[in-house]
Structure 1
């Protein structure tokens, strides 16, 4: 029982523990290493001692003691960083300023303008999502050693630049908001469809991203893109119960039992979208939320207003002219004008990863071009990391080869 219990606590409490330790010691490396030591100790001790009544509190307390012990040893060697961290812990401030939640504060810290946007995202996924370096590398489509170096450099820059873990002032919040929204959404998307592993989704990451989105909305209730991001996550999360079968097989949006979508999340998300519309300040997250709202309005897949979805993607492509948006717009075009029109757009796109090949394969399948569809499914399979997506693509590939 204990090893699964440690794994569950790690997934649910790692981000909180790191955030608390960063606040206490003001040092990312100290916090990460201390929390890792605490979980290692838990693996060793919980089998004999049993799981403590408050596992999260046990982890944080153990990590704090380990960090202090380590810093005292290093401080005795005149390590100025260790001495500074001990002083920081001794003088931990009571006032937390406008951002009271430790994990949200850590997001704002990771999004310091001294760090590059890729470093901000990677570090947040590491500290808030508890993702391994390999998982983050897969999300960024770079080799694991490259991502490892990027993370080391980001943390070294925080230390060398003496970037403190402090509460951003109210004046600092708007300047960092774009990066904060981006990393919260990336945590959510990694949870919604994990880049690797046996499960399609990671509910813990989705829940954490939604929690952070709610906190941002409380903190900045009049920011349209904050409202849009929260609406987008809620409407997307509403479908999670039916995105897979009981056996873990992927179920496409068109095939989902919409009566089992979470009605409360749908209603809350749609209300937020209406709030965005009243403000008339469209941004990328708001437009994506509006697209999700159109899908949630349809009682069945065939009732989806694809013409409106396409119009919204036209607007989104103007706001965010990226290949990913163009690919999703091509899917909408295929629904409005037919698969041949969508395929013509997809064939002009170049994207890393499996998604463009999977979309192209589906359009070729619908056109009856089985050999080409099979080749496209095979290309997607070479690039996919998630087991549920892989199994789906394998089934589709087998169907095309059998039909051919």
Structure 2
């Protein structure tokens, strides 16, 4: 069955994205991973080409495009060239940071930050995770207390994607330990804020080009006008924005799984053993048939999820279903594909080998598989 998700505008956009990636990303992505750093200039070029930040309103320099199908096209094309470190940064901006900065900012804040986001001059990070608080957001200990026209922030965040390069950090804090779920508040912390320090760049097993860091706040003084939304509403804001984040993780997962499968299918037709292409062997055909079927089924759910998101109908539970299932499928498919490549699959020069380590984090960040199942199961039990 052919996909009916896209129309001519999306396919024309695909051509633009593909041309940009082939010119500006594909020749350099492996060197970026080796250097553990992606140059800032490529994000400016990406923004200029319209490869991300499409949802920034036109009056702030963006396209004002809210159709998530364009974002899905980017995920597919990034996966096609296996540039997952670069793709993660784009996803961090489009599916997390910009989602907060377009939804929760006031007019003065929008004028201050959104034009720079639209040109790629401002990159952001989202700082929720702490050494003692990951999926359990209520465990956040980073504190903020009001002191005149500033908030004094103390605490530590870890595993923060783009923590080294970010110009602005959307920070989750606890502002009232006695207020329960209404004791959390979000702030935007800008680079150069007194008391805000970046720790070391963390050494990950995958996605090496995408910087991940620890962040420290030692009596950091954040201006009161940098509060996002209302005081005490931080936990509600975080929960309400999780469906977009989880949809974004699933979008990268389905794109990567499909791309590696297509590479493996071609490899099996060309690679010979015992005088025959390995696609002639029944076990290989069964593995390929299984993956093709699973990908088609998952793709149908993803397409429905994207359309539901566009219509404002994607529930947190449905997004959780997409997130855990598609990322687990990605992990399973890429593992099978590596097996079919044999020893060559274990080499970093082969796309499947790099994708194997780069994709392992997918079932962890954005909410682990176990947390996703707990959320789904809790709703089922309570209904």
What TM-score results when the alignment is normalised by the length of structure 1? Answer: 0.27
Structure with the larger helix share: 1
Structure with the larger strand share: 2
Q: Who wins on radius of gyration, i.e. which is larger? A: 1
Q: Which has the higher contact order (CA 8 A, sep 6+)?
A: 2
